């Protein structure tokens, strides 16, 4: 049994930051979705695809948390072996995340604080950028400082749905997407501040990770409010109820009377 894992150890200062951050990230997602369930905005009566989506994405959150626990407690061998599970997990997240988004847009059931076209671009873009940062972390797995920071930034992107469920999104219209961004970017900024205090400099992985998140947010706007974005919307919604919905008009508030 001793050959299966390295000897457990106390959590070091460097590992402690990522371990605590993983707990906070998990708590944000759990709290965000729990609040929606408590207020009756979510239920177990959702379609099967929604449950599969939740299982896959929350499963990743648990994997990320477990990986930080393993590193922090010295089980690095298990951490490395379990890490290969992420290689198979990410494609499922890309497919499921994009599929659910397309289904909602085609059905005309986009959250009312997002324009349909913005939502169509935002969701797949965030999953793809998450996968890109995480793939970079896997490729640099032998460079620990790069690996853990890029993985951290990838996980930061997945906080969007949880954060959005905790923010007063209707009050943030028409900047709901940027409101979520303003919260999640605080996580890599906290990592930068932590590096400055501990080492006197910011590790370059933070600049790449945080810069990618900023570029992603800007790209969402640029694509959503462009002719190519409109073309994408037309292609995706062709022959569906979503085709009759203005791509850049906000859906009516729930319970609002229909427009005359």
Q: Which domain holds residue 114?
A: 13-236
Mean pLDDT to the nearest integer, 100-106: 95
Residue 2: the pLDDT is 37
Residue 256 lies in a domain: no
DSSP state of 91: H
List the structure tokens of 109. 């059931």
Residue 259 lies in a domain: no
Tens-place pLDDT, residues 200-240: 999 999 999 999 999 999 999 999 999 999 999 999 999 99
* pTM for this prediction: 0.90
Residue 184 lies in a domain: yes
pLDDT-based confidence at 4, cuts 50/70/90? Answer: very low
| CA–CA dist 44, 244 (Å, integer) | 29
Sign of CA dihedral 163, 169, 174, 175: negative
Tens-place pLDDT, residues 128-185: 999 999 999 999 999 999 999 999 999 999 999 999 999 999 999 999 999 999 999 9
Question: How many domains does the chain fold into?
Answer: 1
Residue 102 lies in a domain: yes
Residue 4 lies in a domain: no
pLDDT-based confidence at 42, cuts 50/70/90? Answer: low
Question: Which residues neighbour 205 within 8 Å (Cβ) at sequence distance 6 or greater?
Answer: 145, 146, 149, 150, 153
Residue 1 lies in a domain: no
Closest residue by Cα to residue 64 from 143, 139, 150: 150
Out of 68-77, 94-103, 150-159, 179-188, least confident range: 68-77
Residue 254: the pLDDT is 74
Residue 199 lies in a domain: yes
Residue 184: the pLDDT is 98
Out of 11-25, 31-45, 94-108, least confident range: 31-45
List the structure tokens of 213. 């998140």
Residue 221 lies in a domain: yes
CA 113 to chain centre: 18
């Amino acid at each position: 049994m001793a050959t299966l894992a390295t000897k457990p150890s106390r959590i070091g200062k460097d590992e402690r930051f990522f371990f605590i951050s993983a707990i906070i990230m998990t708590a944000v997602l759990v709290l965000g979705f729990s609040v929606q369930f408590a207020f009756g905005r979510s239920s177990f009566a959702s379609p099967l695809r929604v449950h599969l989506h939740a299982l896959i994405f929350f499963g990743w959150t648990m994997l990320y948390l477990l990986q930080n626990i393993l590193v922090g407690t010295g089980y690095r061998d298990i951490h490395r072996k379990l890490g290969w599970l992420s290689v198979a997990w990410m494609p499922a997240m890309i497919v499921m995340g994009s599929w659910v988004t397309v289904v909602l847009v085609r059905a005309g059931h986009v959250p009312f604080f997002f324009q349909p076209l913005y939502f169509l671009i935002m969701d797949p873009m965030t999953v793809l950028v998450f996968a890109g940062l995480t793939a970079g972390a896997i490729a640099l797995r032998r460079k620990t400082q790069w690996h853990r920071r890029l993985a951290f930034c990838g996980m930061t992107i997945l906080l969007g749905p949880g954060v959005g469920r905790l923010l007063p999104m209707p009050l943030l219209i028409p900047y709901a997407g940027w409101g979520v961004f303003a919260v999640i970017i605080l996580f890599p900024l906290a990592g930068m501040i932590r590096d400055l205090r501990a080492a006197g400099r910011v590790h370059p992985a933070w600049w790449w990770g945080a810069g990618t998140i900023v570029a992603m947010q800007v790209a969402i706007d640029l694509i959503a409010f462009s002719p190519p974005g409109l073309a994408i919307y037309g292609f995706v919604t062709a022959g569906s109820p979503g085709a009759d919905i203005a791509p850049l008009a906000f859906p009516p508030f729930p319970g609002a009377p229909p427009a005359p």
